Amino acid sequence: RGPEQLRQSPREGSYNEHMQRVLAFLGEQGVRAADFRAVYENIPLSPGMAELFQFLSKHHELFEVVLISDANMFGIEAKLRAAGARSLFRKIFSNPASFDRRGFLTLGPYHSHKCLQCPPNMCKRKILTEYLAERAQEEVEFQRVFYVGDGANDFCPSGTLTAADVAFPRKGYPMHRLIQEAQEKQPGAFQAAVVPWESAAEVARYLQELLK
């Protein structure tokens, strides 16, 4: 498989499987751990995300922050450490990634699930509901859930939010479009308040207002 096939959209199987093939190709080209780390560290954060991280760390006693991503653990931890934001997150849920004996970065699925809307390796709804149930068992009560996202795979978990919760979809991205479609198709079916953002600083401002 040359780079031409890898550039095409991942037709066979999921994005996760496509990325497994891409990483194997890069490994064959001699790309190693330090190279991957440098690339991940240099991926820019979404606009305003640094401000949101600052706000959350300033008010860390009020918010419990978790990250659910269909990327991979290695890349996410590298980026968050570089951004000085790793300690902000109580837990990170992502696809397992590690370097094998050859020094190739290998990727696995996060879990399996029965949701028909989500890619086979990850249903964020399942992760979110299991996390909230586990915290409830540990007698941690949340007043409300704030869900910030942009991808199509962020729509499924946002559907579990209640009227007390807030969904923050990035403006014009798939999560936002899917929420708008759901609201048009069935007004009232999507329960959470919806606050679209272009800069995550807008999310910080919204949360700041709630603290007043």
Measured CA to CA in angstroms, residue 40 lies from 9, 45, 195 at distances of 21, 10, 29
| CA 52, chain centre distance (Å) | 15
Q: Which distant-in-sequence residues (6+ apart) come within 8 Å of 206 by Cβ?
A: 166, 168, 195
- Buried-state track 45-63, b at ≥16 Cβ within 10 A, e below 16: beebbbbbbebbeeeeeee
Measured CA to CA in angstroms, residue 206 lies from 63, 138, 162, 200 at distances of 14, 29, 18, 10
Q: How many other CB atoms are found less than 10 A from the CB of residue 70?
A: 21
CA-to-CA distance for 201 and 50, rounded, in angstroms?
8
Residue 93 pairs with which residues in a beta bridge? 68
Tokens at residue 203, please?
């999310």
Query: Would the annotation count 154 as a binding residue?
Result: no
The 3-state DSSP class for residue 198 equals coil
Residues placed in the known binding site for Mg(2+): 150
Residues placed in the known binding site: 150
